[in-house]
Amino acid sequence: MNAVELRDVLLSCLLEVAPEIDGIEIDPDVDLREQIDIDSMDFLNFLTAVHESTGVDIPEADYPKLATLAACVRYLGARVEAEDA
């Protein structure tokens, strides 16, 4: 998956957790929880949806690395590349 495809998957997963954000432009460099006002349980549900959509395991220790949309794309991109290698 390339960065654009990963971003689309991530946005789809966010919409599953917070459908009220439909149509809102997400700033890729702003903390997702603050930007779209989701709590820690919604964030966990988002990460679960990301795992189910991508097959990438995300250890709990890595959750802080996924604070922004851009960080999620970078993190998943590196993981997907590693799996493809």
CA dihedral 83, 74, 67, 14 (to 10 degrees): -70
Within 13 A of 23's CA, how many CA atoms are on the CB side? 1
In CATH, what number is assigned to the domain containing residue 66?
1.10.1200.10
Domain assignment of residue 27, given as a range: 3-84
Q: Specify whether the CB–CB gap between 80 and 1 falls below 8 A.
A: yes
Reduce the DSSP state of residue 36 to 3 states and report it. coil
Residues 24-80 pLDDT 10s? 889 999 999 999 989 999 999 999 999 999 999 999 999 999 999 999 999 999 988
pTM (two decimals): 0.89
Residues 30-43 pLDDT 10s? 999 999 989 999 99
Q: How many domains does the structure of the chain reveal?
A: 1
